[in-house]
Amino acid sequence: MEAKIGLLYLIQIFHLVIDFFCMFYVFLFSAMYDIYFCGFILLQTLHWVALKNECIISYIEKKLIDPGYELGSKPRWLPHYNTFYNKYTKTIKAILIIGGLLFVVFRTDKNYIKAICLAAIILWVYLTYFHIQPHTNK
């Protein structure tokens, strides 16, 4: 049981590191890495679509907490948020990620990077704030 809790905590720390990278990218890296950043955010959101609006890391966290958890049944339940975030830090996270993508849009002169950023923003906002949650019979 302690090993399971330790593994869960390590996975949550890994998730937090990814969040911090996404939130503070524009402060840490130069424009030469913009394509990787916006590509990462776009791939991140596309994998949510493939996994019923779930992050693979959050899904692993949920399975460790509840082995009977079914993919897509509670996509708004984010265990690492309960550990590291509150309602204010979630909003700050959203502002920093979307702001970072917008900053990249304005600092680049490459149209394909702008297009990837804008697609990532639209998909991220839609899936985070407007996507209709699936219903279960449980």
> Along the 138 residues of the chain, how does pLDDT read in single tens digits?
788 888 999 999 999 999 999 999 999 999 999 999 999 999 999 998 899 888 999 999 999 999 999 998 998 888 888 888 887 888 898 899 999 999 999 999 999 999 999 999 999 888 877 765 544 444
CB 104 within 8 A of CB 34: yes
For 112, the 3-state DSSP assignment is helix
CA–CA separation, 75 vs 58, rounded Å? 9
Q: What is the pTM of this model?
A: 0.84
- The answer to whether 52 and 75 have CB atoms below 8 angstroms apart is yes
